[in-house]
């Protein structure tokens, strides 16, 4: 058995736990000292046409990709075997769904990146850490497309036996480093980039992901009444400007 190197410990033990701590503490700090900046810093007033197409495509595809990663990494292979799902069905479905989500993310991110970098009024609202988050996100998405589409024969690689085992072992504080080191290099790079964006997350505009107005689903209806065009009549006057003495209201 080949002994683990210091680099293995750094990338697959120290980096993940550091990212988790920074992610949690960073959000607490941001909420405590920068609630005013806890927003997406909307630039809809600066430009709407590209935002209208790029934003929904990017966000919905991202939600689909996150859901797929949750199923693929957190659900062990033994569960799908117990449910009677053939391995080829699972891999083919993952390839189709993952490719669709990845292409949606790539197109949406390309539109939003073009908008943010090429339109001066939008570019002026972008910070350096936001550009860093965009770069990391681009690396993650491109690697995901590489892995999903089968470039370098990775489309049917069973990552649940390596990456999934290592990821779940982090929750037990006994990281199975040998599992992740047995995975292909592109999977390792994909995982490392994901931890990097978790470190950047609390300090960028990505924090707006936690401000989704879910309470709108159960808040009471807002009643909006139209404004009365005519001046209301004074009680008891039937619209007359003068009221006779002794006439009841």
Distance from C-alpha of 170 to C-alpha of 53, rounded to nearest angstrom: 38
Which of 73-87, 192-206, 223-237 has the highest mean predicted lDDT (pLDDT)? 192-206
Contact between residue 138 and residue 200 where contact means Cβ atoms under 8 Å apart = no
Question: How far does CA 144 lie from the centroid of its chain?
Answer: 15
pTM of the predicted structure, to 2 decimals: 0.77
225 contact partners, CB below 8 Å, separation of at least 6: none
Query: Does residue 220 have a pLDDT over 80?
Result: no
pLDDT tens per residue across span 36-67: 777 777 777 788 888 888 989 998 998 898 89
pLDDT, residue 75, reads: 84
**59 is annotated as contributing to ligand binding:** yes
One of 3.40.605.10, 1.25.40.10, 1.20.950.20, 3.40.50.1970 is the CATH number of 6-217, namely 1.20.950.20
CA distances from 150 to 91, 125, 143, 193 (A): 11, 38, 11, 20
């Amino acid at each position: 058995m080949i002994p683990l190197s210091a680099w293995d410990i750094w990338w697959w033990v120290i980096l993940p736990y550091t990212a988790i701590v920074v992610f949690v503490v960073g959000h607490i700090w941001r909420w405590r000292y920068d609630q005013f900046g806890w927003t997406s810093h909307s630039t809809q007033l600066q430009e709407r046409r590209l935002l209208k197409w790029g934003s929904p495509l990017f966000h919905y595809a991202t939600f689909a990709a996150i859901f797929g990663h949750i199923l693929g990494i957190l659900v062990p292979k033994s569960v799908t075997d117990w449910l009677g799902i053939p391995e080829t069905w699972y891999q083919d479905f993952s390839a189709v769904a993952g490719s669709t989500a990845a292409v949606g993310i790539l197109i949406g991110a390309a539109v939003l990146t073009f908008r943010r970098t090429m339109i001066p009024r939008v570019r002026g609202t972008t910070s350096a850490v936001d550009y860093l988050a965009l770069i990391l996100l681009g690396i993650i998405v491109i690697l995901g497309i590489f892995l999903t589409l089968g470039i370098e024969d990775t489309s049917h690689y069973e990552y649940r036996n390596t990456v999934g085992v290592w990821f779940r072992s982090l929750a037990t504080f006994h990281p199975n480093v040998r599992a992740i080191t047995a995975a292909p290099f592109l999977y390792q790079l994909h995982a490392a980039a994901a931890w990097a964006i978790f470190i950047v997350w609390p300090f960028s505009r990505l924090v707006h992901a936690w401000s989704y107005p879910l309470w709108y689903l159960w808040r009471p209806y807002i009643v909006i009444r139209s404004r009365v065009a005519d001046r209301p009549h004074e009680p008891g006057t039937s619209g007359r400007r003068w009221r006779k003495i002794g006439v009841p209201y």
